[in-house]
Amino acid sequence: MMKLALFLAALFLIVFYKIYSDYEGNKKKFILDLGLLFFLLFATGFSKYIRVYLLLLVVHIILLLTSWGAYIAYLYGKEKKTFLIFSPLISIIIFFLLGYFVSHS
């Protein structure tokens, strides 16, 4: 757990420095970038709960790697679309649906 916390802290500092260094008075973009960063940190931290379903964890990790890559590409201006950044939501929604159907069957 400590490794994950250190990893997330390092990612946060690196990406926050990039966001802050690119800040040129555009508060809307700054808040959007920070919101996307906090969403990705939340989705990465949610991995510890998805460990219950091993196959879903593998899918979640793949989606996380994709979304972090899309976020880095977005920050460096290579990509303008943000839908890939929200891809871990798929595995999180499936996790809650599985929990709901298993507990109510």
Give the model confidence (pLDDT) of 29-67 as tens digits. 888 888 998 999 899 889 889 999 999 999 999 999 999
Condensed to tens digits (0 to 9), the pLDDT of residues 57-92 reads 999 999 999 999 899 899 888 888 888 999 999 999
Residue 44 Cα distances to 10, 55, 59, angstroms: 13, 16, 13
CA-nearest of 82, 51, 54, 49 to 68 is 82
Q: Give dist(CA 3, CA 6) in Å, integer.
A: 5
Q: What is the pLDDT of residue 30?
A: 85
What does the pLDDT read at residue 105? 65
pTM of the full structure: 0.84
